[in-house]
Amino acid sequence: MTKVADFDPQQLVLPLSHFIGGRYLVADEANITVLRPSDGLPLGTIGEAGEEVVDLAVRNAWQAWRESGWGQRSPRERARAMFAWADLIAKDMELARLEAVSSTRPISQVLASDLPFTAEAIRFFAELADKQGGEVAATRLDTIGMIASEPYGVVGAITPWNFPLSMASWKCGPALAAGNAIVVKPSEMTPFSTLRMAELAVLAGIPEGVFNVVNGTGGVTGAALVRHPIISKISFTGSTKTGAQIMTAAAQSGIKPVTLELGGKSPQLVFENVPDLAHAARCVASGFTANAGQACVSGTRLIVHRRLVEPLIDSIIGEVQKLRPGLTWSAASSYSPIISRAQAMGISDRVEQSVSQGAEVLFGGDFFAETGNGFFYRPTIVSSVSAQMPVVREELFGPVLTVQTFEDEEEGLALADHPTYGLAAGVHTSDIGQALRATRRIAAGTIWVNRYGRSGDMIMPTGGFRSSGIGKDLGRKAMEANLQYKSVLIDFDQR
Ligand code: NAD
């Protein structure tokens, strides 16, 4: 791993504003100011891609897709270019710094996890390039029925501001490995690292125009991308509200398939026979404080057996006190800022609303004063909550853990179920039967037993039940979603 050191954000050269047809396109007017979440100061500006620029990007992608032969060439050739790209990503300090400065990711975590994880996702899909074919169907013996897979052509991807590089790799990895060209729209709050990623793709030998980036707000650039007639599939990660708008727009502009990775409100369930309480405390603590709770799978609802609640909360508080908030470009920082003032105030307001409805703050509930103008919300633990309170009902996308207790398994499982979301869940128990009953019973796309959080196993798909989404990122399922299947039936014996 690269040695982590402080860096000076003033020294960074920001890429501008879009990446189309293998080169940067600097916008005539830079009308969006991007702030640094660590200190709230302006980082730089980008221009917004309107319909014309989005059209240029999509047409470039379409032309590159047909003329470069990206979709037609041997899958192993595509894989080689993607491997070279992953190798560049894994060691690119400029990419790491761009990610750290405009997103909420401290540089130490970008280098230890975001960069290697991004590179590994691309490698995983490159490996699948020639392993995801079609099938030969069981038809009459004088016919051959083939179910052949084909890329769509040009697909669109829209990504959120949390983990910008990883989220982009989950979209472009399967899209490119399957032979599509892609146009990505990153969040307007974190536009820069995805641009650098596109530049590295060209350096690695991915044909110019196969990977394009357009920047701007969701309502203008994102909406234009979804509606574009050449875009034949949309992959989106973001909030449930935006996901619904995108699904509607995709239906109205050509019945385009959508993959939607949306919000969550995931439980961490600790049974009385937990194998190791200290380990469970570490899982719960990291599960709701990683990236300051700005992770879709953040485990923000602790559901714990009544007899364990006090020692568990004490241990969780001990764990979260070890976190070090600080500038994302300082090597010593280990705790993330909230992305924006509006987002930070939304978290704090909903905690206060819940308190006014009877909730009790056991720890935190305020901002770290010593971090100046950054938006650092202290890890917060709230008890005496009910299902109707905002802290339990809504995705806060912040470091707020609610505590609910139960007496028996049935009560615990009932509390774990959320009426709206079903993204992930954690279960701590030493009884395998109980663990399996919980995995069957909880409606969630991912269930972790005696752990909380992803591993490096990219083969495990991720995605939501209920309003947490449609379809999967990662795994073979993500690859399949980037292919369309054609039935070909041939009569070969006409004697
Ligand atoms: P968001 O929905 O506000 O924005 C996501 C992206 O959509 C941004 O690029 C934005 O510009 C764009 N967008 C907004 N309106 C649009 C429109 N009408 N048409 C097209 N594009 C539009 O989400 P966010 O605040 O950036 O991200 C946080 C959310 O993402 C949380 O809800 C989180 O749970 C979710 N998320 C889910 C996963 C998952 O895998 N399920 C992973 C990460 C984040």
CA distance 379 to 400: 6
Q: Tokens standing for 401? A: 């853990």
CA of 54 to the centre of ligand 1 (A): 19
The answer, yes or no, to whether any atom of ligand 1 lies below 6 A from the CB of 99, is no
Q: Model's pTM, two decimal places?
A: 0.97
3-state SS track over 335-395: ECCCCCHHHHHHHHHHHHHHHHCCCEEEECCCECHHHCCCCCECCEEEECCCCCCHHHHCC
**Three-state secondary-structure class, residue 27:** coil
The residue type of 426 is: G
CA of 261 to the centre of ligand 1 (A): 9
Say which residue the tokens 């509006």 belong to.
Answer: 342
E strands, 90-194, are 135-137, 143-151, 154-158, 181-185
CA distance 333 to 431: 38
Half-sphere exposure at residue 259, Cβ-oriented, CA atoms within 13 angstroms: 29
The answer, yes or no, to whether any atom of ligand 1 lies below 6 A from the CB of 226, is yes
Q: Tokens standing for 65? A: 């897709």
CA distance 315 to 462: 29
**Residues 9, 10, 13: CA angle, nearest 5 degrees:** 90
Q: How confident is the model at residue 370, as a pLDDT?
A: 78
CA distance 97 to 111: 9
CA of 172 to the centre of ligand 1 (A): 16
**Three-state secondary-structure class, residue 266:** coil
**Active-site annotation, residues:** 261, 296
Q: Tokens standing for 395? A: 């995705």
The answer, yes or no, to whether any atom of ligand 1 lies below 6 A from the CB of 264, is yes
The residue type of 49 is: A
- Write the DSSP symbol of residue 50: -
Percent helix, strand and coil across the chain, each to the nearest 5: 40, 20, 40
**Closest residue by CA, ligand 1 atom 19:** 223
Q: Tokens standing for 70? A: 């990206």
Q: Model confidence over 381-432: pLDDT tens digits? A: 999 999 999 999 999 999 999 999 999 999 999 999 999 999 999 999 999 9
CA distance 382 to 354: 9
Q: In terms of C-beta density within 10 A (0-12 exposed, 13-18 middle, 19 or more buried), how is residue 263 classed?
A: buried
pLDDT in tens for each of the 495 residues of the chain? 567 889 999 999 999 999 999 999 999 899 999 999 999 999 999 999 999 999 999 999 999 999 999 988 899 999 999 999 999 999 999 999 999 999 999 999 999 999 999 999 999 999 999 998 899 999 999 999 999 999 999 999 999 999 999 999 999 999 999 999 999 999 999 999 999 999 999 999 999 999 999 999 999 999 999 999 999 999 999 999 999 999 999 999 999 999 999 999 999 999 999 999 999 999 999 999 999 999 999 999 999 999 999 999 999 999 999 999 999 999 999 999 999 999 999 999 999 999 999 999 999 999 998 777 789 999 999 999 999 999 999 999 999 999 999 999 999 999 999 999 999 999 999 999 999 999 999 999 999 999 999 999 999 999 999 999 999 999 999 999 999 999 999 999 887
Taken in order 424, 429, 432, 438, is the CA torsion positive or negative?
negative
**Closest residue by CA, ligand 1 atom 32:** 239
Q: How confident is the model at residue 374, as a pLDDT?
A: 82
Continuous segment of H or E residues that includes residue 255:
none
CA distance 223 to 243: 12
CA of 289 to the centre of ligand 1 (A): 20
CA distance 183 to 161: 17
Distance between the two ends of the chain, CA-based, in angstroms? Answer: 66
Q: Which residues contact 18 (CB under 8 A, 6 or more apart)?
A: 24, 25, 27, 47, 49, 53, 57, 195, 212, 213, 214, 215
Which residues on adjacent β-strands are paired with residue 235? 157, 259
